[in-house]
Each structure stands twice: as structure tokens, then as C-alpha cells.
Structure 1
Amino acid sequence: MDLLTPDLGLFIWNLLAFLILFFILKKTAWKPILKSLNEREKGISDSLATAEKVKAEMAQLKSENEALLAKAREERAALLKEARDTKDKIINEAKDQAKLEAGKIITDARAAIEQQKMAAITEVKNQVGNLVIEVSEKILRRELSNKSEQEKYIKDLANEVKLN
């Protein structure tokens, strides 16, 4: 049981050594230890404050980025709308131009057809006139006393003439 209970002298010497060590540490090491602990605490609090500041800046940047993205989307939509409108305008202008050109071509074609028709009618009239003159010449060259022979001769001449 002696081992479990310390001796009074040993207790006093241990207490004295502890107190001497405590005062030496208090005079030499306590201030630097407290100073380093305070510096560490200050560094941690500064780091936390900086982290909070960075977090706030990141939130602000995120909101600015979202605003920029929304603005970019709006601009893109406006550009796409403008491009669609321009495309529709160009297509409509091309259609109108094509209609005008088609109308002009049709008008020119009708005028050409009318001109060719008139030229053909004039040529037919000229040929008919020439045929009448030819037949008249042949009739007048030949003097016939009999009316029936005259009619027979006109029929024969009419059969000889070929219309082109």
C-alpha cells in the first residue's frame, strides 16, 4: 500500500519543482505562447472575414453574370428576330420583283403575239390580194363569149390556186 500513497517529502519536492517550472515558464514562455495563440486567433478571424468578403463578392459576381447572361439572351433574341424580319422582307421583295418581271414578260409576250398576228393577217391579205389580181388577170386575158365557159374557167383557176 505504500506504493499507492506518496510520501510527504516527495510530494513537497514535486510541488516545489512544479512551481519553479511554472514560474520559469510564466516568465519566459507564457507570453510568446499567448502571443502566438492570439496571432493565430487573429489570423483565423481575418481569414474568416476574408472568406465572408470573398463569398459576398462571388455572390455579387454571380448576380452580375446572371444579369449579363439575361442581357445577352435578350440581345440574341432581338438579333434573331431582326434576322427573321430581314429574311421575310427580302423574300417578299423578291416575290414582288418576280411578279413584276413575270407581268412584264407576259405583257411583252402578248404584244409580240399581237404584232405577229397583225403581221400574219397583213400577209394573208396581201396573198389574197395577189391571188385576186392573178385570177382577174387570167380572166381578163381570156375573152369568153359564153357565161358557162367563163364560170368553168374560174372554177378551174380556183382549183389550181393553192393557199399557203
Structure 2
Amino acid sequence: MGKLFEDFSLGLFFWQAVLFIALIFLLKKFAWKPILDSVNDREEGIKNALDAAEKAKLEMQNLQADNQKLLKEARAEREEMLKEARDIKNKLIEDAKGEAQEQANKMIMQAQAAIESEKKAAMAELKNHVATLSIEIAEKVVREELSSKDKQLRLVESMLGETVLN
């Protein structure tokens, strides 16, 4: 340190100071302005990129919210369609049951009418058959009863006796 003070020259110091100031002036005039401009441009570009990223982020959030809303609406619409389909299915089933019941009742009534008709026809045929048999039996009995003259006279007298005159 002591040697530094011993070798100190005021003229050399003056020229070094002048050169340093000139160098600073030249740097300020030609280098600092372009360097600061490029740094400012870079800073502005980064700021714009950050702003654009923030806008993109907000837009993405809005799109996600819209997508969620559309998805929710689609789900609600699907549920509504499924409910309508279930209602239509139940209505069709109820209509089919009602129609089947109506047809079954109609068939039962037709069957009952057919049974009643067959029953009446059978009863009429049975009555005819019984009447025919009764006539045949009566004919045989009367033939036997009327086979002799005595029996014929007794029969006529008994019938006359049973007859009440008004």
C-alpha cells in the first residue's frame, strides 16, 4: 500500500480520469441506449407474454366453465329423455294390459254366451228326446191297455169318471 502512494502521479491520474469519463460518455451515447432499449423491449415482450398467458388462462377457465355447463345441460336433457321414455313404456304397458283385459273379458263373455247357447240347445234336444221317448212309452202302454175290448171300455169309463164338467 505504501508503494502505491509513492508511485502516484497526478498527470497519469488526470489522463486516466479523462479517458474513463470519455469512455463512459461513449458507452452512454452508443452502447447504453441500445442495451437499455433491448432490455426494455425484452421486458415489454415478457410482460405482454405474461398478460397473454393470463388472458389465455382466464379464457381456458371460461371454456371449462362453459363445458361444465354444457355437460350439465346434456346430462339433464338425457335424464329428461330417459324419464319420458320410461313414462311412454309404462303407458304402453298399461294400455296393452287394459286391451288384453278387455279382450279377455270379451272372450269370456263370448264363451259364456256360447256355453249358454249350447246348454239351451242341449236342453231342447234333451226335451225332444224325452218327449219322443215318452210318446213311445205311452204308445206302448196304450197299445197294451187297448189291446182288448174290456180294457178299452174300462179305460173310457174311468176317464169319463175323472172328468169334471163345468
**TM-score normalised by L of structure 1:** 0.73
Is the alpha carbon distance of 1:48 and 1:5 closer, same or farther for their aligned partners in structure 2, counting shifts above 3 Å? farther
In 2: Cα distance, 1:19 partner to 1:54 partner: 49
Is the alpha carbon distance of 1:133 and 1:70 closer, same or farther for their aligned partners in structure 2, counting shifts above 3 Å? same
Is the alpha carbon distance of 1:79 and 1:16 closer, same or farther for their aligned partners in structure 2, counting shifts above 3 Å? same
Is the alpha carbon distance of 1:41 and 1:106 closer, same or farther for their aligned partners in structure 2, counting shifts above 3 Å? same
**Partner residue in 2 for 1:52:** 54
Q: CA shift at 1:103, angstroms? A: 0.6
Question: Counterpart of 2:86 in structure 1: which amino acid?
Answer: R
Gaps in structure 1 of 5+ consecutive residues: 147-164
In 2: Cα distance, 1:7 partner to 1:92 partner: 120
Is the alpha carbon distance of 1:4 and 1:90 closer, same or farther for their aligned partners in structure 2, counting shifts above 3 Å? farther
**Partner residue in 1 for 2:64:** 62
Question: Counterpart of 1:58 in structure 2: which amino acid?
Answer: M
Q: Find the residue that maps to 1:29 and give its secondary structure.
A: helix
Gaps in structure 2 of 5+ consecutive residues: 152-166
Q: Find the residue that maps to 2:29 and give its secondary structure.
A: helix
Within the candidate set 45, 68, 77, 1:75 is matched to 77
In 1: Cα distance, 2:3 partner to 2:86 partner: 101
In 2: Cα distance, 1:6 partner to 1:115 partner: 154
In 1: Cα distance, 2:89 partner to 2:28 partner: 88
In 2: Cα distance, 1:54 partner to 1:20 partner: 49
Q: Are 2:45 and 1:43 equivalent residues in the alignment?
A: yes
> RMSD across aligned C-alpha pairs, in angstroms?
2.9
The total of aligned residue pairs comes to: 146
Is the alpha carbon distance of 1:131 and 1:6 closer, same or farther for their aligned partners in structure 2, counting shifts above 3 Å? farther
**Partner residue in 2 for 1:158:** none
The structure whose RCO (Cα within 8 Å, separation 6+) is larger is 1
**Partner residue in 2 for 1:8:** 8
